[in-house]
Amino acid sequence: MKAILIVMDSVGIGSAPDATAYGDAGASTLPHLSAAAAGLNAPTLQKLGLGNIPGLLPQKETITGCPPVDAPIASWGAMREMSDGKDTITGHWEIAGLEVDPGFHNFPFTDSFPPDLIAAFEKETGRKLIGNKAASGTEIIKELGEEHMRTGALICYTSADSVFQIAAHESVVPVPELYRCCEIARRLCDPLRVGRIIARPFVGTCAADFKRTENRKDFAYLPAEKTVLERLFDAGVPVYAVGKIEDIYCHRGITESIHTGNNIASEALVSKWTQEKESGLIVANFIDYDMLYGHRRDADGYARSIEETDRWLAGYLPLLGPEDMLIITADHGNDPTFKGTDHTREYVPLIVYRPGRPGACLGIRKGFYDIAQSLAKFFSIPAMPRGASFIAYT
């Protein structure tokens, strides 16, 4: 008996009721990108009920090319985030049963990092800091990458999320040293409740060809209570992590982990472990939609990436046994047609597939942590502090 939880990073499905407070009124990732890309060809996700979900929301939008079906083969619904934030850590932690309140600390867009933090960071790392502002990760290495290569100074920047990001060329600052600098930043930023320190290594010879590598690594703030991953692990249920999951959950409650760097590698590993593992929870983050297309405001690339996953799903579903459960969701939105380059505060889709069982409408769930509660129920461990299980309806 296995549960497989796939988080499609940033695949939101409609503006949340409190989106205005985040500057995101009107954002709607899936409906908008599908329209901009002249349709989304995702027949497997459509059969699972993806096209039925927008009709549950107040906006009543549609996913172009992926309309509702009369009888989805999975249960479907939407989830509203209760925590304060719209970032990876906040979304994943709530999925795992936590609530982030108050939200993590956000730095201002200019003169981002406090002078005392900069001074302490430079003293401990032995390297100067340049950047110190909110920026697109690809644009700031074009702007400051050559200066970094001349001087050895680290490029530090933030965004609308609670992040302290450090970019460095792999030939100037070896990846292990960059990770060490991030560990220093993690310790220094803990008193501020900063969600993530992110290592952003890149390669290339000049601004025209700088390219970030898959050696990215996230250093997350430690959660104050146990996630469903830890509770399952403590109860003897194996937990297998794919992608950046190990970093998001601070390497806690994980039996085995492989840090894949792209969707195709993550999909292959999920398929492999689904066939190899007899029981337990497999948790995967599919990162490409957010990293390669959402932040870069590439609606067509975003749509094609979802279509690639849809083709994988067509071959993956037959690998599931009669006692298995597949959950597909997201952690936040990142509407590629919206202003700026940041995440967007949105509802996220909820698809629950159990082979041989009819689908049902799960409605709008108040809290991503309904997933954690459902996993607790599925594996027969004590209930989580928050959330309502949807197991009885699937």
- Report pLDDT digits (tens) over 314-339: 999 999 999 999 999 999 999 999 99
N-terminal to C-terminal alpha carbon distance within the chain: 15
Label the pairing between strands 217-220 and 196-203. antiparallel
Q: What is the pLDDT of residue 16?
A: 98
Alpha-carbon distance of 169 to 212, in angstroms, equals 9
What residue ranges define each of the domains in the chain, with the CATH number in brackets?
Answer: 2-101+222-393 (3.40.720.10), 115-220 (3.30.70.1250)
Rg (CA), the chain: 20
In this prediction, residue 305 has a pLDDT band, given cuts at 50, 70 and 90, of very high
Task: Read off the pLDDT of each residue in 39-47 and give the average, rounded to a whole number.
Answer: 98
Task: Read off the pLDDT of each residue in 138-144 and give the average, rounded to a whole number.
Answer: 95
Report the 10 Å Cβ neighbour count for 391: 14
Within 13 Å of residue 107, how many CA atoms lie on the same side as its CB? 27
C-beta separation of 230 from 283 below 8 A: no
Within 13 Å of residue 265, how many CA atoms lie on the same side as its CB? 12
Among 315, 375, 252, 394, CA closest to 1: 375
Residue 180 phi, psi dihedral angles, 5° rounding: -65, -40
- Report pLDDT digits (tens) over 223-263: 989 999 999 999 999 999 999 999 999 999 999 999 999 99
- Report pLDDT digits (tens) over 80-134: 999 999 999 999 999 999 999 899 999 988 889 999 999 999 999 999 999 999 9
Task: Supply the mean pLDDT for the chain.
Answer: 96
Tell me the H-state helices in 168-320.
175-189, 228-234, 245-248, 263-276, 288, 299-316
Share of the chain above pLDDT 70, in %: 100
Burial classification of residue 51, based on how many CB atoms lie within 10 Å of its CB (0-12 exposed, 13-18 middle, 19 or more buried):
buried
Coil, strand, or helix at residue 374?
A: helix
Q: What is the pLDDT of residue 110?
A: 83
Report the 10 Å Cβ neighbour count for 139: 12
Q: List beta partners, residue 154.
A: 129
Residue 181 in this model has a pLDDT that exceeds 90: yes
Q: Could you please report the per-residue DSSP string of 340-372?
A: SSS-B-EEEEEEEE-TTS---EEEEEE-TTHHH
Alpha-carbon distance of 89 to 220, in angstroms, equals 7
Return all residues near 305 (Cβ < 8 A) that are at least 6 apart: 263, 288, 289, 292, 293
Specify the DSSP class assigned to residue 57.
S
User: What percentage of the chain's residues is helix, strand, coil (to nearest 5)?
Assistant: 35, 20, 40
Q: Could you please report the per-residue DSSP string of 297-327?
A: T-HHHHHHHHHHHHHHHHHHGGG--TT-EEE
Among 24, 18, 36, 122, CA closest to 306: 36
Return all residues near 362 (Cβ < 8 A) that are at least 6 apart: 75, 76, 77, 350, 352, 390, 393, 394
C-beta separation of 195 from 218 below 8 A: no
Residue 59 phi, psi dihedral angles, 5° rounding: -70, -25
Q: What is the pLDDT of residue 94?
A: 98
Alpha-carbon distance of 159 to 174, in angstroms, equals 24
C-beta separation of 97 from 228 below 8 A: yes
pTM for the whole structure = 0.91
Angle between helices 115-125 and 175-189 (to 10 degrees): 140
Residue 394 in this model has a pLDDT that exceeds 90: no
